[in-house]
């Protein structure tokens, strides 16, 4: 008997939403839906990171300890940055294990590195890496510094803030940042020169990048680099 293929990431998120519709308090569900719709309608897409932008000197904090210099990572090969919300975000706990199964192995085979990035403080963010046994790097973007540069940071709306405060907590307490700011889910592929070759930003956190386009972008980057090296070699002859 042929084993059925695992659902796409989009299908898993559709299942999550269906489960929420069936089980979640309608008022709370409406706040969640309205916030996601508001982001889709109002996001400043002109400010989003795009191919041709360049990143090299940025610094992140590894959740397992130590500092990650983007330039040092790029010296070892292409880098794929995956921005997510925080360690206890239900959607992120679907996306990151999915990328572990369907994206990281392919990237590793291509000589590329996967780094998942959230503004949550390292001592809380490390939980998601250990919970799922993720083999790729998980890093903290202090004060959303890199996320802001990429134009992907938003502030939770008033209804979302009021809802969480009514439960006796706040997003800033959950993330350890003291703010209501989060990155929109995004995937950024960087060549060894730090130039963005592919970027996909989703204002709706229940719509995230499938592995296929990311792997295709990295393969194209490697072919491009190979052609460039061949031309340089011929020119030197």
d(CA 237, CA 8): 48
Q: What is the mean pLDDT of the chain?
A: 93
Structure tokens at 212: 């296929």
Identify the residue with better confidence: 237 or 140.
140
- Given this model, what pLDDT does residue 6 score? 85
Give DSSP secondary structure letters for 167-218.
TT--HHHHHSSSSSEEEPPEEEEE-TTSBEEEEEE-SSTT----HHHHHHHH
Amino acid 233: pLDDT? 53
Among 228, 226, 219, 211, smallest CA distance to 104 is for 211
Q: Identify the band that residue 224 occupies on the pLDDT scale cut at 50, 70 and 90.
A: confident
Report the alpha-carbon distance of residue 132 to residue 100 in Å, rounded.
Answer: 9
For the chain, the residue count is: 237
Task: Check: CB of residue 15 under 8 Å from CB of residue 94.
Answer: no
pLDDT tens digits for 143-194?
999 999 999 999 999 999 999 999 999 999 999 999 999 999 999 999 999 9
* Other beta carbons within 10 Å of 168: 7
Range 56-60 average pLDDT: 93
Confidence class for position 235, pLDDT limits 50, 70, 90: low
Query: Percentage of the chain with pLDDT > 90?
Result: 89
| 230 vs 118: which has the higher pLDDT | 118
Average pLDDT of 9-18?
Answer: 96
Q: Give backbone dihedrals phi and psi of 97, rounded to 5 degrees, phi first.
A: -65, -35
Please state the domain extents for the chain: 9-230
The answer to whether the beta carbons of residues 206 and 13 sit under 8 Å apart is yes
What is the model's pLDDT at position 227? 47
What pLDDT digit, counting tens, does each position of 195-208 carry? 999 999 999 999 99
pLDDT of 1: 44
Distance CA 123, CA 139 (A): 11
Q: What is the CATH number of domain 9-230?
A: 3.40.30.10
- What mean pLDDT comes out for the span 43-48? 97
């Amino acid at each position: 008997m042929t084993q059925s293929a695992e659902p796409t990431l989009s299908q898993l998120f559709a299942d999550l939403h269906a489960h929420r519709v069936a089980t979640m308090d309608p008022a709370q569900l409406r706040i969640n839906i309205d916030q996601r719709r508001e982001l889709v309608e109002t996001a400043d897409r002109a400010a989003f990171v795009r191919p041709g932008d360049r990143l090299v000197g940025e610094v992140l904090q590894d959740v397992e300890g130590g500092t990650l210099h983007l330039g040092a990572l790029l010296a070892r090969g292409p880098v794929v940055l995956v921005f997510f919300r925080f360690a206890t975000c239900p959607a992120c706990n679907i996306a990151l294990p999915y990328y572990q199964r369907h994206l990281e192995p392919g990237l590793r085979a291509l000589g590329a590195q996967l780094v998942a990035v959230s503004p949550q403080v390292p001592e809380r963010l490390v939980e998601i890496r250990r919970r799922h046994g993720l083999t790729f790097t998980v890093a903290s973007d202090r004060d959303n510094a890199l996320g802001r540069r990429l134009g992907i940071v938003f502030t939770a709306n008033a209804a979302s803030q009021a809802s969480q405060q009514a439960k006796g907590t706040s997003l800033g307490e959950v993330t350890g940042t003291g703010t209501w700011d989060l990155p929109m889910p995004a995937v950024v592929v960087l060549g060894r020169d730090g130039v963005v070759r592919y970027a996909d930003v989703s204002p709706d956190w229940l719509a995230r990048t499938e592995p296929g386009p990311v792997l295709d972008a990295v393969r194209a980057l490697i072919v491009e680099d190979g052609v460039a090296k061949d031309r340089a070699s011929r020119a030197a002859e």
